Amino acid sequence: MAFKDSKLITDPLADNNPITIQVLGICSALAITAELEASIVMSIAVLFVLGVGNVVISLMRNIIPSKIRIIVQLIVVASLVIIVDQVLKAFAYELSKTLSVFVGLIITNCIIMGRFEAFALANGPWRSFLDGIGNSLGYAVILIIVGFFRELLGSGTLLGFPVLGDPIEKTGVYAFGYENNGFMLLAPMALITVGIIIWVQRTKNPALIED
Amino acid sequence: MSKRTDSNLYTILFAIAMVLVVGTLLAFTASSLKGKIDENKRFEKQQNILYAMGVNNNDEKSIEFISTDIVEEEFNKYIKKQYVIEGTKATENPEAYLIDIKKEAALAKDPSYTRKLPLFIGEKDGEEFYIIPMRGKGLWDAVWGFIALDKDLVVKGVFFDHKGETPGLGANINQRFFMDDFTGEHIVDGTTFKGITISKSNADPKNDDKTDYEVDAIAGATITGDGVSAMIKKDLRMYMPYLQTLKN
């Protein structure tokens, strides 16, 4: 992989992160990060849809009429999501039930439309594929960080396993008077968590601060 | 210079072609997977019914259903009879579990229609269970479940699930800590039907009091909890006349 191509994967992880820098996909990041598992599942689903969708749009880029390009992009993303959902229902039923709540959110995820519009319409399939993977991974990093803190501080669990003790029996840190912070499970705290990540990121790299 | 792809004719032809291709692709996917998906749904229903009556592979904390390879066999082993209740009469029907209670609820809006109510009678370790399907509304979409009662109309187990409740909040109705609270709860006071209320003001978080007709709510999931309470009361009430006769 050429240096320029490898940047397509590494840039979105930090300095061109879709959530913290491009400010795309914020809505789904707020909606589903109350649990770490949901964050991981959503990240995998977006990885697939954006990777394949970017390639499809890139292959069609020279024949899409510019007047209806947004509709074409929406159709591609919606069809991919429906196919994924049907295949999962047939062959991985348990997983499809976990995913069901996110399917609609994938269609409306701004990252997907944003990358189709900004990258796949102007680049070849291989580079578009790398861009899709890179941006999905950048999205995943933020989702997993937010999901980790929200589940840990909000429910005292990680991936459903109690890590801080039992809140009813008052064991572990609960024995010292700690209480789960229910506010962490609500959407406003997700926004604040994303805000803190943005703050930390820009403090560490002042070049990202806009004038 | 305008490109060829900018003309109106090209745009219209492209749109038509795209709709045809995508439509065919989706129709083909849906129809070729339908059989498999229906089978999965049937197995899931059987797993849920068995789960409610305590036939599952749970350990201390987990939720493990009977594996799909053997669920059909186990279902036939534990579910001794299936009835369809119509008005006051109950007829035996070995496929009662396939009745779609969502459709029945919709049809029942027509006053001339007699609603079909499926009831499953299970037997485990010599004890008999009455298992009742339920369906209601949560915050975002449907919630549903099964409740297993013994002959004294005490809850022996429940299973709840949902279509799209909020992860971390309402979605927790299908977790052990919530479902296990229902076990042992009473739903009738003598002959008066009480149901079970999911209560925020319940001063009994460990659920030691089994005759208060209340279980502890999930924090931050008020509307989902209210939906589940309403579902239990609405659907169980319909079975009460029949269950009372069985009890006596």
Longest dimension (CA), chain B: 88
Residue of A nearest to B30 (CA): A86
**How many angstroms away from the CA of B30 is the closest CA of chain A?**
7
Chain B residues within 8 angstroms (CB to CB) of chain A: 3, 5-6, 10-11, 14-15, 18, 22, 25-26, 29-30, 33, 36-37, 40, 43-44, 161, 163-169, 171, 205-206, 219-220
Dihedral (Cα; A103, A109, A114, A119), 10-degree rounding? -30
B31 domain residue, yes or no: no
- Within 8 A by CB and 6+ apart from B50, the residues are B56, B65, B66, B71, B74, B75, B78, B79, B122
What digits encode the pLDDT tens for the residues B25-83? 999 999 999 999 999 989 998 999 999 888 888 877 778 888 888 888 888 888 888 88
Residue B141 structure tokens = 């979409």
Verify whether the Cβ–Cβ distance B11 to A68 is below 8 Å: yes
pTM: 0.74
Verify whether the Cβ–Cβ distance A32 to B167 is below 8 Å: yes
Number of domains forming the structure of chain B: 1
Give the structural domain span for B224.
80-244
**pLDDT value of residue B15:** 93
B175 domain residue, yes or no: yes
Q: What is chain A written as a DSSP string?
A: --HHHHHHHHGGGTTT-TTTTS--SHHHHHHHTTSHHHHHHHHHHHHHHHHHHHHHHHHTTTTS-GGGHHHHHHHHHHHHHHHHHHHHHHH-HHHHHHHHHHHHHHHT-HHHHHHIIIIITTS-HHHHHHHHHHHHHHHHHHHHHHHHHHHHHHHSEETTEESS--TTTT-GGGGGT----GGGGSHHHHHHHHHHHHHHHHHH-GGG---
Round the CA-based radius of gyration of chain A to a whole number and report it: 19
**pLDDT value of residue B218:** 87
User: Of how many residues is chain B composed?
Assistant: 248
Q: Which of A126, A83, A124, A130 is nearest to A103 (CA)?
A: A83
Residue B206 has pLDDT above 80, yes or no: no
Torsions phi, psi for B143 (to 5 deg): -125, 150
Give residue A155's identity as a one-letter amino acid code: S
- Within 8 A by CB and 6+ apart from B125, the residues are none
**pLDDT value of residue B248:** 65
**pLDDT value of residue B247:** 67
The mean pLDDT of B113-134, rounded to a whole number, is 88
B18 domain residue, yes or no: no
Is-contact A197 A204, C-beta < 8 A?
Answer: no
Verify whether the Cβ–Cβ distance B168 to A101 is below 8 Å: no
DSSP B217: P
Which residue shows structure tokens 């977006």? Answer: A46
**pLDDT value of residue A147:** 92
Q: CA–CA separation, A95 vs B131, rounded Å?
A: 27
Give residue B92's identity as a one-letter amino acid code: E
* Cβ-based contacts under 8 A for chains A and B: 78
Q: To which H or E segment does residue B10 belong?
A: helix B8-52
**pLDDT value of residue B152:** 85
Regarding beta strands B79-86 and B192-193, do their DSSP bridges make them parallel or antiparallel, or are they unpaired?
A: unpaired
Which chain B positions have a beta carbon within 8 Å of A72's beta carbon? Answer: 14, 18
Residue of A75, A91, A168 with shortest CB distance to B22? A75
Residue B70 structure tokens = 């053997």
Band the pLDDT of B1: cuts 50, 70, 90: very low
The mean pLDDT of B93-115, rounded to a whole number, is 85
B19 domain residue, yes or no: no
Regarding beta strands B197-199 and A157-158, do their DSSP bridges make them parallel or antiparallel, or are they unpaired?
A: unpaired
Give the structural domain span for A127.
1-208
Q: Which of B2, B16, B246 is nearest to B131 (CA)?
A: B246
Q: One digit per residue, pLDDT tens: chain A, 211 residues?
A: 666 778 888 888 878 888 888 888 888 788 888 888 888 888 888 898 999 999 999 999 999 998 899 999 999 999 988 888 888 888 888 778 777 767 777 887 888 988 999 999 999 999 999 999 999 999 999 999 999 999 999 888 898 788 888 877 788 888 888 888 888 888 888 899 999 998 998 888 888 777 6
Which chain B positions have a beta carbon within 8 Å of A62's beta carbon? Answer: 5
Q: CA–CA separation, A33 vs A22, rounded Å?
A: 19
Torsions phi, psi for B85 (to 5 deg): -95, 125
Number of domains forming the structure of chain A: 1
